[in-house]
C-alpha cells in the first residue's frame, strides 16, 4: 500500500490512473484503507471547491446519460475538464443501470478532457452519497472544473444529490399530462431547472406542450419571492448542441448566485449540513458499538413492547448509559 503523498501528488498532477486508484481506495470499507483515504482527502482539501457542481436527476429512461454525454462533450470541446459521477441506489441490488452500460457514454469516455466513474457500491444510500461527495472533491483536486452527478429519481438519492451541488436539474419527458409527473415536492423545491428532454422528431410538439404545462404547474406550486425562478426548458440530447440553452441557463444562475453571495451561502450551508449528517451517523455507530447499551437493549425493548415502560423513558435510559 502506498503512502498518502503518492495519491495526493498523483491526483494533483491530474494523473488519471492515480485518480481512479484514489477513488477505489475511498470506496474500500477496510479500516486501513479508510484511514489512508482520510489522510489523502485531508491533503487534497485545500485544492477542492473550484468547480461547478451539477446534479441531474430524472426517472429511468428520461435521458440523463444521453444528456450528460451531449453536454459533457460540448464542454470538453470548449476546454472544460469534465468529471461524471453517479449515485445509484439500485446498483446495490441487481440491475442498476446508471453508467453501467458504458456504451451510453462512449464518446465522452474517450475524450481526453473527461473522467467517468460509475456509481460506487455501498450498503446504504447514505454511504453511496458520502462516497460520491468525496469523489467529487477528489475530482476537483485533479483539476476537473465541471462535475456532473447523475442520479435516478426514484427515492431519496436525488435529494442527497441536490444537497451537494450548485445546480440541480430535473430531467423529464413529455407524455403524462399537465401534472408534475409525480415529482415530489421536496425535489421540486430543490430544482434549479426543469428540463423536458427528447424535444425532437415526433416528440417535438408534445415536448413543447409539456414544457408549457409544467411551467404553469411550477408557477402555481413554487413561491414567486425566490431570487431564482425555477425555469422550465425543453431540449434534445440527441441533437448536436441540443443542450446549449440548458448550459446558458446554468451559467445565468451561477452569475446571479455569485452576485448575491448565494453561491457561497449555499456551499456553506451544504458543508454544515454535511458535518451534522456525519456527526449523527457517527453517534449512531458508536451507540450500536457501545457494549453497555447493547447489553440493556433486549430488556428495554421487551419492556417497551409489553407496555411496561414508555418509549420516552426507555430512550432516556439508553441515552443515559451512553
Ligand atoms: N429522441 C431522443 N431520444 C433520447 C434523448 N435522450 C435520450 N434518448 C434515448 O432514451 C433512451 C434512454 O436514455 P438514457 O440516457 O439511457 O436514459 P437515463 O435517464 O440515463 O436512463 P437510466 O440511467 O436507465 O435511468 C435511450 O434510448 C436514448 O437514446 C433525446 O433527447 N431524444
Ligand atoms: Mg443513465
Residue 292 in grid coordinates: 453497555
From 56, 65, 71, give the residue whose CB has the most ligand 1 atoms within 8 Å, as the site to mutate.
65
Q: What is the distance in A from the centroid of ligand 1 to the CA of 63?
A: 3
Q: How many helices (H) and strands (E) does the chain have?
A: 13, 7
Please, what are the domains in the chain? 1-47 (1.20.5.170), 49-260 (3.40.50.300), 273-321 (no CATH)
Name the helix (H) or strand (E) containing 147.
Answer: strand 146-152
Residue 59, pLDDT score = 84
Residue 60, pLDDT score = 84
- ∠ Cα 220 221 223 (to 5°): 90
Nearest-angstrom CA–CA distance, 84 and 148: 5
Query: Cβ neighbours of residue 11 under 8 Å, at least 6 residues apart?
Result: 18, 19, 22, 40, 44, 138, 141, 142
Under the phi-then-psi rule, with left for phi > 0, alpha for psi from -120 to 50, and beta for the rest, what region is 138?
Answer: alpha
Residue 61, pLDDT score = 86
Residue 280, pLDDT score = 87
Outline where 45-141 has alpha helix (H).
64-77, 106-110, 125-141
Residue 155, pLDDT score = 66
User: Residue 66 in contact with residue 238, Cβ under 8 Å?
Assistant: yes
Residues of the chain with pLDDT under 70: 1, 89-104, 121-125, 154-155, 176-182
pLDDT tens digits, 291-308: 888 899 999 999 999 999
> Which ligand has an atom closest to residue 196 CA?
1
Nearest-angstrom CA–CA distance, 155 and 151: 10
Q: In what order do the strands lie in the sheet with 167-173?
A: 114-116, 82-87, 146-152, 52-58, 167-173, 193-197, 232-234
Q: What is the distance in A from the centroid of ligand 1 to the CA of 239?
A: 12
Residue 236 in grid coordinates: 434534445
Amino acid at each position: 500500500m502506498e503512502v498518502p503523498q503518492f495519491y495526493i501528488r498523483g491526483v494533483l498532477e491530474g494523473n488519471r490512473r492515480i485518480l481512479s486508484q484514489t477513488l477505489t481506495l475511498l470506496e474500500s470499507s477496510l479500516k486501513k484503507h479508510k484511514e489512508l483515504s482520510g489522510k489523502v482527502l485531508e491533503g487534497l482539501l485545500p485544492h477542492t471547491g473550484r468547480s461547478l457542481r451539477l446534479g441531474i436527476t430524472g426517472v429511468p429512461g428520461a435521458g440523463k446519460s444521453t444528456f450528460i454525454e451531449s453536454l459533457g462533450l460540448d464542454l470538453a470541446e470548449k476546454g472544460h475538464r469534465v468529471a461524471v459521477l453517479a449515485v445509484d441506489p439500485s446498483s446495490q441490488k441487481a440491475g442498476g443501470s446508471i453508467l453501467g452500460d458504458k456504451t451510453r457514454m462512449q464518446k465522452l469516455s474517450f475524450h481526453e478532457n473527461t473522467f467517468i466513474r460509475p456509481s460506487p457500491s455501498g450498503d446504504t444510500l447514505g454511504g453511496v452519497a458520502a462516497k460520491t461527495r468525496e469523489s467529487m472533491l477528489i475530482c476537483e483536486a485533479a483539476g476537473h472544473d465541471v462535475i456532473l452527478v447523475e442520479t435516478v429519481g426514484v427515492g431519496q438519492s436525488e435529494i442527497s444529490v441536490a444537497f451537494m451541488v450548485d445546480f440541480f436539474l430535473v430531467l423529464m419527458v413529455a407524455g403524462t399530462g399537465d401534472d408534475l409527473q409525480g415529482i415530489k415536492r421536496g425535489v421540486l423545491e430543490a430544482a434549479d431547472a426543469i428540463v423536458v428532454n427528447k424535444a425532437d422528431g415526433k416528440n417535438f410538439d408534445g415536448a413543447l406542450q409539456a414544457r408549457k404545462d409544467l411551467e404553469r404547474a411550477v408557477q402555481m406550486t413554487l413561491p414567486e419571492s425566490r431570487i431564482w425562478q425555477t425555469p422550465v426548458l425543453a431540449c434534445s440530447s440527441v441533437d448536436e448542441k441540443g443542450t446549449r440553452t440548458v448550459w446558458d441557463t446554468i451559467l445565468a444562475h451561477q452569475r446571479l448566485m455569485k452576485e448575491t453571495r448565494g453561491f457561497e451561502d449555499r456551499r456553506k450551508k451544504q458543508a454544515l449540513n454535511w458535518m451534522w449528517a456525519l456527526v449523527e451517523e457517527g453517534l449512531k455507530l458508536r451507540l450500536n458499538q457501545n457494549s453497555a447499551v447493547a447489553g440493556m437493549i433486549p430488556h428495554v425493548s421487551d419492556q417497551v413492547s409489553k407496555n411496561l415502560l414508555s418509549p420516552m423513558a426507555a430512550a432516556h435510559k439508553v441515552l443515559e448509559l451512553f
